[in-house]
Chains A and B, each alone.
Chain A
């Protein structure tokens, strides 16, 4: 009996959906055409150059993402205030990737479509970067990541045996896992004197990469890996994993991944009665890790790229300006790197504009990408320049430890291999 009515209703539903979808598409198409139309044109005071930002602005990794966005915003404001590039006003367009490769790729497409965008800062996650690199490279749009640490992004999938640059438009100010993992292993083995490790990772590009470079170096040094485990970052119940760790004779846990898992994991390990430190990479170096791990997090260690921002004389100004702007969120682990990434784009744009008699050339994107290779300046995190793969030449790292509810720098150094 309900047959006919149902079908009719469904048909009209489909019709409405189709109409709405078509309408929505038309509207967006109009929108982007308008945006494109005014691209690169002079509007009153001069040329507007947009620096795109792609980072997780919602979801679990929001704290890190907003730190990146705010720091880029600060760089842009500083450049505009000082009229650093004559006749060019910078703007930012921040897009949210939620830490998802698919969203990242959509955002990349969107940024490429806007002609005013001459450079992009981001993303946070290596897995997201993988999905964006080609889109940007096809458009010759330069991308500078403040946070990606997976070596394959710059040195190719076979980076361990044969380094080969994949995309000429991709650069980063962060140090790679190829350095960070071993650096952590050396600290854990030589300085913290822990010989038996239980390695856990979240199977994401970043986490698994970090865990494997750590494991390789730790074994090389003579340490023993007493167990490995992979967790699902969507769940919060690690009790089964914790029981395995507790029953192993590990004296330290290495976690490859980010703080939304690392915090609860550390807490659950200690609560189960296994009082051993958790060590992680820059992905757990966040105030939210301490919040999640609670008092149980005391003594946990994290490595992060560069020297502690607060201790660098070059960073004092950044910290002061960041506070003066009154951003609601902290600049977090990647603030300084994000500022430097944005500033590298600004430097490259400046070079291109100055070489072209104070105007943007028609092939501005390609020129900016070219100029990026030779950018060199003193940034928040030290000397900023890029090697032949697009990696930062600054290879400094720091070990931090949780004490009294805060990350305290323990040891800074340069990994030499």
Chain B
């Protein structure tokens, strides 16, 4: 059986999840030039927010009711954490050397991880996430799990809404202006503090949607789930061109597909059997990143901006 279509689907699904999380990295970077390494943990708190709502709901609640409530729960928790982080960890450091907020972000990431681990009930062992009803769907040689359906629907929809928001609304145009030149935007009457908070909040919303998708797809949430995924999403954001929201999604998809295909096929190349398989997928993903950055240092969709590092 030809497994290429299935591996492509595997990669696209994984990539959509990277993309949803990568948007948070790219938006915050685009506006305040901060790599928010705590974003992976904001993603994680979203997952626990959704789980909490599910545990509150009475047993046997229909998914049609539970799903929107879980999404709202995830978004509320993630956005609260993100805004809190911005207000108390990053804003006091605005204007400080770049390294200070970066280290703060890493510290915050560890703190959030440990806090959930220590205080969320029974988070010391993985918490089981509810499953979406329905079995698997077979389309020719491709199988799609019920748990993936949410991701398939949510990722493009989120992208569409974000694109519309950034291009068409007043706040969205304010964001673009702040990204281009914060000082001039401020002179033109854009409330840049507000815009920055909105960027953090929007990033958190997408991370929360991603976290709910993660829960459905893998059936569990755990305090460490944001760490590796956050790193991958950051890679995706860089690959796509950091600062560009479409780049984040494209970067995510490319990274996901690269991982799936390298797992599936590298080992079959003569002489490469030792370098294939899933444990080498990350290596190949980063090789791809390096190659792309050699050819296009600004990333796939990034624009070369002279006065930005």
Contact = CB atoms under 8 A, between A and B. Distances in A.
Interface residues on B, range: 35 or more
Contact of A239 (B14, B128, B225): B14
Interface in B19-34: none
A60 B13 CA distance: 25
A83 interface: no
Interface stretch (B159-167, B184-192, B258-266): B258-266
Nearest to A272: B143
B277 A229 contact: yes
A288 B126 contact: yes
Given A234-B228, A244-B264, A6 B97 contact: yes
B277 A59 contact: no
A2 B96 CA distance: 10
A239 B220 contact: no
A51 B263 CA distance: 45
Interface string A238-251: 11110110110000
A203 interface: yes
Given A240-B263, A273-B136, 20 more contacts: A9-B97, A60-B126, A62-B124, A66-B124, A229-B278, A230-B277, A230-B278, A232-B279, A232-B281, A236-B218, A240-B278, A240-B281, A241-B263, A243-B3, A244-B263, A247-B1, A260-B126, A264-B218, A264-B219, A292-B219
B125 A240 contact: no
Contact of A232 (B138, B143, B278): B278
19 contacts: A9-B97, A59-B224, A60-B222, A60-B224, A63-B125, A229-B277, A231-B278, A236-B218, A239-B14, A239-B260, A240-B7, A240-B260, A241-B277, A243-B264, A263-B126, A264-B219, A272-B143, A272-B145, A294-B128
Contacts of A235: 228, 278
Most buried by B among A6, A232, A246: A232
Nearest to B2: A247
Contacts of A246: 143
B96 to A, nearest CB: 8
Nearest to A62: B124
Nearest to B117: A58
A237 B14 contact: yes
Interface string B244-278: 00000000000000011101100000000000011
